[in-house]
Structure 1
């Protein structure tokens, strides 16, 4: 069956857009979990989407699904370039859930579409946002240095378009788009090992989010900067930023924001060497993650955040604190999520746990695998993390696996 098939056409004609998605997905031998992973939904959320279609999800989710499955947007009631308004009054509510975009994996969340896209500038904002989403999709399979210049050019275009915006509504929408693109530029700089540029871009993302007037976006970008600072070893700065994100949202912060910010705080405490505080934050984050409702979180928390993400965070905290039991006591096989670069970073954390437990050979066998991924994707961040791991071993006569690692690491200048 192709998307031109009579069953697909009939489902589209009757407005059963969930059925359209289901039929095309099945024809491509794709599971609900695989589709959900590609567009930022859980398997159960995809099941609900296929059963109820446009009555449940925003047009942005439908657009993401059709883009991934490769069929024309018109089959799910969308125009070719932007979502069509729907007749019922639920559309504004659905749009504010913002589960659109082509989501990347957990460590690289993609922001969703802008709210209530109406007015002359809304089409520009939607088109620019789609370009950012496309670049985010490429991040998982493309070296960051190959994407960086394109994203910078994209940022310049957003700035140029923003300069001609006619009203406050258009300026706010374009500021949000600029915030998303700046955050992506920060992520790419970080992956290349350029922390100075990454910090500048993340700071720009925070400023643009504030200009957009959306407290959720401002809190998200502030939390993202906090996460970066925690990984960079600046625990106090990360804690201050995470607390600032909390203040922006106040008491009405969504449950996923609470769970996520607690995990960021755990990383910050680990960066400061505070095991007890990190453990408390992780425990609270896991409890909050386990209590999250089944329905999709509000934008911009479009990535799936659950207990498995807290488990991965605990591994990273354990690596920072030198706690082998934190790293090795969890189900490592369950942590093999995300794209190759993200998995490589987690493998280095697991290697650090092995090294802390005295398992030198297994540690560097893992580290060698991660290093190969870093070299394949020219990821300065992975290579530098591999170098940092090597510096923690001071043995005068290292085993052969370490000598092989040293040989591969020598001359790895990206």
Structure 2
């Protein structure tokens, strides 16, 4: 970021918007890294910087992406109302001529926000919109920048599992092809596994839930991911018994002394 800022200060005026866009992408990456480390305060600061830089670049599409990324972060953090406000701001930034992938992705973000707010019906409607749009996306070719990832029906299914975990709906979680969803990088798989564990807990399957949660916790410790460890703590907090079963006590022992 210091290098980009230094270059921008000495660059001709015509090059500064382009460098501001580069700065926006770098700040967004820093935000994601802070989020993964469990440093939510720094994540918010960096996402704010990414949004400000995108606006300085005069790029409404990039600004929408960064605002939507902050909305996604807030939804995962449990701040449903704020996430919905941000998602609406992202849509306004896009305007009527928005790429279909942006529409599908923002609908999934809105589903997460509604789930964080405890609104099952609104979350379901947003998931239906997201799936319908994802089905119409081109099957080949790269997604339009700044969407550098493919957004497809599998992403919507994974979002539904996450929403179900937040809402305590076992049928949303356990009826999915969870083995197929738990793909990608090890850290992403661990987060999906923790959502599946929450679904087992909602169905009363404590042993199965904490067997999965223990696997995910191992990944969080291995990769020093504060986000995974904190999500594991959230799963543990859903058990409020004063006399938890052995598998939960063993999980507590694993969590004890984990400082990430």
TM-score normalised to structure 2 length: 0.97
Q: Is 1:300–2:141 an aligned residue pair?
A: no
Q: Name the residue aligned to 1:183.
A: 28
Report matched runs for 1:222-241 at 5 Å: 222-241=67-86
SS of alignment partner, residue 252 of structure 1: coil
1:361 maps to what in 2? Answer: 207
Q: Does 1:311 align with 2:162?
A: no
For residues 287-313 of structure 1, the C-alpha deviation after alignment (integer angstroms, 9 at most, x for no partner) is 110111233321111200000000010
Equivalences for residues 144-223 of structure 1 within 5 A: 155-168=1-14, 170-223=15-68
Q: In the aligned structure 2, how far is the partner of 1:321 from the partner of 1:157?
A: 44
Structure 1 gap ranges (5+): 1-154
- 1:108-143 CA distances to partner (integer Å, 9 max, x unpaired)? xxxxxxxxxxxxxxxxxxxxxxxxxxxxxxxxxxxx
Shift of 1:215: 1.2
Give CA-to-partner distance per residue, 1:154-202, whole Å, 9 cap, x none: x11111111111122x111111110011001101111111111100100
* Distance across 2 between alignment mates of 1:276 and 1:312: 18
Unmatched segments (≥5 aa) in structure 2? none
**Total equivalences in the alignment:** 259
Which stretch of structure 1 is more off in the superposition, 204-213 or 294-303? 294-303
1:244 is the counterpart of 2:89? yes
Distance 1:343 1:371 in 2: 11
In 2, Cα distance between equivalents of 1:366 and 1:272: 26
Tell me how large the CA RMSD over aligned residues is.
Answer: 0.9
- 1:283-341, Cα deviation, whole Å (9 max, x unpaired): 11011101112333211112000000000100110111111111101000110222111
Per-residue deviation, 1:399 = 2.3
Equivalences for residues 246-395 of structure 1 within 5 A? 246-294=91-139, 295-395=141-241
SS in structure 1 opposite 2:95? helix
TM-aligned CA deviation for residue 249 of structure 1: 1.3
Moved more, 390-399 or 212-221: 390-399
SS in 2 for 1:406: helix
Partners of 2:125 and 2:142 in 1: CA distance:
26
Q: Which digits, 9 at most, give the CA deviation of each residue in 1:190-241, with x for residues without a partner?
A: 1111111100100100110111111111111110011001111111111111
Measure how far apart 1:397 and its partner are: 2.8
CA distance in 1, matches of 2:222, 2:122: 37
TM-score in terms of structure 1 length: 0.62
Question: Larger helix proportion, structure 1 or 2?
Answer: 2
- 1:56-95 to 2 correspondence within 5 Å? none
